[in-house]
Amino acid sequence: EALREELEAALDEGHIRAHFQPQISTDTGAITGLEALARWYHPERGLIPPGEFLPMIEDAGLCERLGEVMLFNALTALSRWDKAGLGVPMVAVNFSAAELRNPKLAEKLKWELDRFGLAPARLCVEILEHVVADADNDVIVSNIAALSRLGCGIDLDDFGTGHASITSIRRFAVRRIKIDRSFVTKVDEDREQQQMVAAILSMAERLGLASLAEGVETPGEHAMLSQLGCGDVQGFGIARPMPVDETMDWIERHR
């Protein structure tokens, strides 16, 4: 109960907020999007990563509240970048299974986007592959379809670890797959890694899906992914997730 109250206060007071990590095109190097990632600025314990506090958020039943905070952070940042004329195409936000169970999700999202005067295409919804794979819940199914109809991009996060069927990928109008970091590590040195990434990319291409590799840490991995035809890359090798002001400086320098 005390923890729930602490988390709620952290969400209300802006102590839990978004950092942003760039996603860039392997062809042009241009920014294709930025992913919002939750961070807890704890007054005593310092910066707490989501791996530690997301399970607490889930246990406390605060997933929807976190989603609202992250969406607001992301759309506020995107509006600021627009006002500065930075030409950022979109911002990506992670959606939990709990949020996707809210029958009013699409309506709520459209309302927020309208409030910011942003087209739905400026928002990319990241959904974990295993959530799509387990989408036996009618509400989740109709929500993903509604978000896609609305015009939001749908990214399949942690792709390769969650067993989504090709049927569900089609049905949900997934736009881009986000190749899990476990396949990306040493892709330039390890033949088996290379073959798996090549197979995933070939499937993506044949299905007309865009591709993004996450967890790209070295120039060698970046170059290999480019050579294999991966569309976009994201990872410490390009930039770490950054606080919003630092992100703005990074975008300006990167142009």
**Position 232 contacts Na ion (CB under 5 A):** no
When the beta carbons of 97 and 121 are compared against ligand G, the nearer one is 97
Write down the residue that tokens 């009013």 correspond to.
104
Beta bridge partners of 94: 126
Cα 100 from Cα 142, distance rounded (Å): 9
> How far does Cα 165 stand from its chain's mean position?
20
- Shortest reach from residue 207's CB to Mn ion, in Å: 20
Q: Which stretch binds Mn ion (CB under 5 A): 58-66, 92-100, 134-142, 182-190?
A: 92-100
DSSP state of 120: G
**Position 157 contacts Na ion (CB under 5 A):** yes
SS3 (DSSP) at 108: helix
- Shortest reach from residue 40's CB to Na ion, in Å: 19
- Shortest reach from residue 38's CB to Mn ion, in Å: 10
Query: Do 175 and 196 meet the contact criterion of CB atoms below 8 Å apart?
Result: no
- Shortest reach from residue 31's CB to ligand G, in Å: 15
Binding-residue pattern over the window 126 to 165 for Mn ion, x denoting contact by CB under 5 A: x------------------------------x--------
**Which partner in Na ion, ligand G, Mn ion, none is near 196 (CB below 5 to 8 A by kind)?**
none
When the beta carbons of 84 and 104 are compared against ligand G, the nearer one is 104
- Going by C-alpha positions, the residue among 32, 18, 28, 23 that lies closest to residue 234 is 23
Binding site for ligand G (CB under 6 A): 21, 37-38, 49-51, 54, 66, 70, 94, 96, 126, 157-158, 181, 214-217, 235-236, 241
Specify the amino acid at residue 199. A
Q: Give every CB contact of residue 100 below 8 A, 6+ residues apart in sequence.
A: 127, 131, 139, 140, 143, 144
Task: Please work out the total of residues on this chain that contact Na ion, with binding judged by CB under 5 A.
Answer: 2
Q: Give every CB contact of residue 229 below 8 A, 6+ residues apart in sequence.
A: 201, 205, 211
Query: Helices 219-228 and 191-206 sit at what angle, rounded to 10 degrees?
Result: 40
- Shortest reach from residue 170's CB to Mn ion, in Å: 21
- Shortest reach from residue 64's CB to ligand G, in Å: 10
Give all strands (DSSP E) within 90-244, no chain letters. Answer: 91-94, 123-128, 153-159, 176-179, 210-213, 232-233
When the beta carbons of 27 and 52 are compared against ligand G, the nearer one is 52
Backbone angles phi, psi at 165, to 5 degrees: -80, 155
Cα 122 from Cα 33, distance rounded (Å): 9
Q: Which stretch binds Na ion (CB under 5 A): 52-60, 99-107, 158-166, 241-249?
A: 158-166
Which of 35, 129, 155, 158 binds Na ion (CB under 5 A)? It is: 158
- Shortest reach from residue 12's CB to Mn ion, in Å: 24
Q: Which stretch binds Na ion (CB under 5 A): 21-29, 54-62, 132-140, 153-161?
A: 153-161
Residues in the site for Na ion, rule: CB under 5 A? 157-158
